[in-house]
Every structure is written in C-alpha cells, then in structure tokens.
Structure 1
Amino acid sequence: MTFDPNADISGGKVRRRGRTAGIAAGGVGVGAVLIFLVSQLLGVDLTQLAGGGTQGQTQQIGTGDQLETCLTGADANANIDCRMKGAAASLETYWTSEMPALGGAYHSPGFELFTGSTTTGCGAASSSTGPFYCPPDETIYVDTAFYDQLRSQFGASGGPLAEMYVVAHEWGHHIQNIGGIMTDHPSKATGAASDSVRLELQADCFAGAWAAAASSTTSPNGVRFLQPITKAQIADALNAASAVGDDRIQSASGGQVRQDTWTHGSSAQRQAWFTRGFGSGAKACDTFSVPAASL
C-alpha cells in the first residue's frame, strides 16, 4: 500500500523523541506497577524494564521533532518516519468518523517515535519492548527499528502496509481504551479465549477495517491518502499478523505451544480477524461476544 504522492499528510500527529539516556528505575515504584498492569492487559512483556537500578535523573538527548518536513504522500513513500506520520493522518481521519458511528466519542492518541529507549506513562521502554500503546498517557510508542526485527527475527515479509498494520493495531488499542472496552473487560487471565487475546484480536480486526477504508479516505486537500491496496500488500499485512501469533513465537523459540499462556492469539486467529475487519468493517469486530470455539 503506497500513498498518493499528492496526498496531504501534514496533519499527522506524530513526534519523534531524541535518544533517552540515564533511565533509572529506582526500585519498584509506580512505574513498575504500571508496566506490570499494561503487560498483563495488552500481552506486551514490559516487566523486564521495571527492574533494578539506582535513582537518578532521566536525561533527554535532543528535543521532540514534530516531523514538520513530512508534508506529502511522496514524503511518506520515501521515508519511514514520514510513513508513520502519513499512517497517523489516515487513521485519525478514519476514526474521527468511524468511532461516532460505533456509538463512541473520539479523541486522538499521542504517537511518539523513539530510538533506543524512552520514558512513558507506563514507565521506561526500550527498543526491545516492541511497539505498544500505553493507556495511562493514551500514547502509541514505536521504535521503527522494530520493522527490521519483524523481518529478521520473526520472518515477516515486510512492506509498507505491514508497517502501517502495526500502527493501526496499536491505534485499535486506543479505541478500546477511550471506548471503555478495556474497562469492561479487565480480566488479566491468559489463554486462547481470554480477554487478553480477545483485546488483541479486536485490535487486529480494527486494523483490517482501517486498511479496507484507507484507499477511499481523503486527505485535507481532497486527494486520497492511499492508492488502492493490492493482493500482495494484503499478503504482507497478513504475514505480519501471522509472524506475531503466540503459537508461531512459541514454536520459533523452541518451546512447547501452550494455549493456556497465550495473550495475543494464534497466527490463524490474528489473520482471520484482520480479514474480518477488512471485509466487514469495524462493526464486525466484537470479539467478546464470540464463543471460544469460534475465535
């Protein structure tokens, strides 16, 4: 999926932070507790970041860059940071109209790109954390080096739509947060039919719904954000979803596939729910009313 070169992406709300140094946990405190809660809720293993360390100041190297030079779809096609800004602009436009149609009130998430490490409302994070959404500060955090890891470590085929699928998935968590879905389903249990898995599969479904609408969603200058999606690009997105399935990760790590420990769902489940959203829209993404056998 590529951007129309003339699309206006200037409204994408993305900031790139400078490299953070001197992160100190200072023992187990509020940050550690928040990290644990988010790990359990979203299935993202952040707990390793809440370990020991001495108390000290967090030093920010560089200032926040609003990516002001990323203005057009041509910029998004040429540069990964601009592509993230373009994805944000497209997702913002989509959810501004889609969430009211679902009966909710929409407001934007924060979206921050970082390199190496950063501080968040959920505590400290590093590039090894992977992309995640932090409910306390309603912000998506992405180290774009993850996309290289997605190809090299997880075996994904990559591609622009696969990269934007990751952003759309995390944006889906924001929709769950502000829509009260996370509050209504607070269970932190694991397992193939757990609320943790259902939250992740719903975020995949929301990502699919956005992808289907993206090539008809227009930017502020009336030009469509994205060119029509191709079968190969859909395959890239499905491949990315498959690469981060719990069963695929457990098998790749040499361990036993144990459904009772799942937090994100199997490769097949993640692909199926992305496909459902792509084919039927966000209204078809109620993973919580589906029987366990049908997930």
Structure 2
Amino acid sequence: MTFRENANIGAGRASRGGGGGGGLAVGGGIGTLLLALVVMLFGGDPGAILGGGQQTQQGSTQGGDLDECTSGADANENVDCRMKATMLSLEDYWTSAYPEADPTSATLFSGSVDTGCGQASSAVGPFYCPLDRKIYLDTSFFSQLESQLGSDGGNFSQMYVLAHEYGHHVQNNTGALQASQQDRQGPESGAVRVELQADCFAGAWAGNATRTRDSDGNLLLEPLSREDIESALSAAAAVGDDSIQERMQGQVTPHTWTHGSSEQRMGWFMRGYESGDPNQCDVLNAGSVDDY
C-alpha cells in the first residue's frame, strides 16, 4: 500500500485521452521496441524521433476524467487511479518548491494520441510534450518495463516514471529542457544531463512525497519504505542507456547515449531523494555527469 486509503484524489490532473488514427509513422517489431526504449522518458517531440515504417492504428481509449478514482484505496488498486493520485502529489510538491511553473496534466491513452507535438504511438513510451506542456503515457508500458527491462513492477517504480516526466515540465519552465535539443547524444551531452536532472527532480519529490497533501489538506502517502525506493531505483536502472543497449544490441556504445547509464540514473535520483532539494540537481553545470 502506497497511498493513504482515505486520501481524496479527486482533484488529480489526469484524464484518459482518445486515440487518433494514423499520422505518425513508426517501424515494427524489434526496431520499434528499441526506438521506444531510447526515447523513453524523452522530453522533446516524439514526431521528430521516429520515422519510416507503418502507420499507427487507432487507439481505443475513450476520453474521460477518471471520475471513478476518488480515494487512496483506488490508487493502490488501479494503475490509472495511481497516476491520478501521483499527479496530485507532484502538483502539491512542485507548486511549493517551484511556484513559477504552472501545474501540468497527464493524459493516459492506448494505441495513439494527438498532442501538441504531433500524433504519437504507444511505442514512443511515456513522454512530455513541451508545446502543449502535458505528459502522455500508455500505462501498458509498465508491463514492458517489468517483463522486458527488469524493473520490479512495484507501485513506486510506476510513480517514478511519472515524476520524471513532471521533472521535464519543470525544466520547460526553467529553460533547461533546451539543452537536450542543442546537444543530443553522448555520455556528457546536454540530452543526458537533462534526463539525469529529471531523475534528480523525481528523487527530490520522492524525498518530500510523504508530506504532500490532498485537496482536503490530508496527507496523501504512507511513509515510504526502503522497498519503495528500491522499486524506483529498479525502474531507473532498467532504462539506463547501457542496460538497454546491452539487452537490445549486445554491446554498449556511449557515444550514442541520450539518457545516461543505469548507475548515473540511480545516482542522481538518490541525490535528489537524500537531499530533498531540487537545487542540488544542477546536472547541466556539473563538471561531469558522474558527480552525484
């Protein structure tokens, strides 16, 4: 159990989005999976990353406000409700830690979705669109994260993913997100530094998450256990560039990295978590991405 059962999550900024048909061309099979993993948690335009291949099929998800998700008990049992409750916690934390950033929202979809960055397929994985300033994810990704990449599948591993994307929203407000577009790959690249900062921001939220409150002023989460943090770390490790490359191509090629190694992703998450201070997350100006 992660959320307090009686917590009121009705105000969480998450909804279901309807699918779109066609428009974004994507590859198939292993190629699509590899591309999806590479852009997993990417902070830019998914339409600029994927190219060639077959068109996406229309998604089946209907729009809705997740009205059935009202309590922490719902969030503990249902992944969509869990994302809604996590958004409520993230908003409560970041409106205090960085009030200059207006709250964002998350759209949960299946198949494909229309965004301000173009139409995106589920193959892209969770992402933040800086043009419409929203988060998008197909929660079926969490099954892939566990079965194909080795995450433990715990609730907090899923919440870490959403917290990372919210970190990109904060970066969009600070201007840090631009570094990912100006220097797109390499072990010390701007892209890697942006991703590691978002991991650190996710850790800073985690370090304060048990103090976040619902719309009634009541605490949202139960005290985090060591297992919760290890669950988040398992997800961070699973999406490290070296881990993905080793699984998908049998070798590690750091000059193509866009997200950082498993060790770096875990290290920056823990820096944020242990300090509880997003001001300790200035990866962009660090002498090295290993300086966590």
Length-normalised TM-score, structure 1: 0.86
Identify the residue that residue 291 of structure 1 maps to in structure 2. Answer: 287
Please say if residues 210 and 224 of structure 2, whose CA atoms lie closer than 8 Å, have aligned partners that are also in contact. Answer: yes
Number of residues of Structure 1 aligned to a counterpart in Structure 2: 278
Identify the residue that residue 91 of structure 2 maps to in structure 1. Answer: 92
Identify the residue that residue 254 of structure 2 maps to in structure 1. Answer: 259
The separation in 1 between residues aligned to 2:161 and 2:269, in whole angstroms, is 12
Quick one: structure 1 residues 262 and 59, their matched pair in 2 at CA, closer, same or farther if it must change by over 3 Å? closer
* CA RMSD between the two structures: 2.7
Residue by residue, what CA displacement relative to the aligned partner does 1:46-99 show, whole Å, maximum 9, x if unpaired? 556444779xxx978664201112111111111111101000000011001000
Residue by residue, what CA displacement relative to the aligned partner does 1:194-241 show, whole Å, maximum 9, x if unpaired? 110000000000001111111111212232110000011111110100
Secondary structure of the structure 2 residue equivalent to 1:292: coil
The separation in 1 between residues aligned to 2:155 and 2:105, in whole angstroms, is 21
Secondary structure of the structure 2 residue equivalent to 1:140: strand
Shift of 1:182: 2.1
The letter of the residue matching 1:8 is N
The separation in 1 between residues aligned to 2:253 and 2:281, in whole angstroms, is 25
Segments of 5+ residues of structure 2 without an aligned counterpart are 26-38
Secondary structure of the structure 2 residue equivalent to 1:4: coil
Shift of 1:116: 1.2
Moved more, 219-228 or 244-253: 219-228
Secondary structure of the structure 2 residue equivalent to 1:253: helix
Please say if residues 16 and 65 of structure 1, whose CA atoms lie closer than 8 Å, have aligned partners that are also in contact. Answer: yes
Please say if residues 16 and 64 of structure 1, whose CA atoms lie closer than 8 Å, have aligned partners that are also in contact. Answer: yes
Please say if residues 42 and 263 of structure 1, whose CA atoms lie closer than 8 Å, have aligned partners that are also in contact. Answer: no
The letter of the residue matching 2:197 is Q
**Is the counterpart of residue 68 in structure 1 residue 64 in structure 2?**
no
Shift of 1:24: 2.8
Secondary structure of the structure 2 residue equivalent to 1:65: coil
1:165-204 paired onto structure 2 within 5 Å? 165-183=160-178, 186-204=181-199
1:91-170 paired onto structure 2 within 5 Å? 91-100=90-99, 105-170=100-165
Shift of 1:19: 3.5
Identify the residue that residue 13 of structure 2 maps to in structure 1. Answer: 13
Structure 1 vs Structure 2: percent identity of aligned residues? 48
The separation in 1 between residues aligned to 2:232 and 2:190, in whole angstroms, is 24
Identify the residue that residue 30 of structure 1 maps to in structure 2. Answer: none
Q: 2:278 aligns with which of 275, 279, 282?
A: 282
Length-normalised TM-score, structure 2: 0.87
Segments of 5+ residues of structure 1 without an aligned counterpart are 27-38
Identify the residue that residue 81 of structure 2 maps to in structure 1. Answer: 82
The separation in 2 between residues aligned to 1:53 and 1:266, in whole angstroms, is 31
Identify the residue that residue 36 of structure 1 maps to in structure 2. Answer: none
The structure number with the bigger radius of gyration is 1
Residue by residue, what CA displacement relative to the aligned partner does 1:91-120 show, whole Å, maximum 9, x if unpaired? 0110010003xxxx1202231000111121
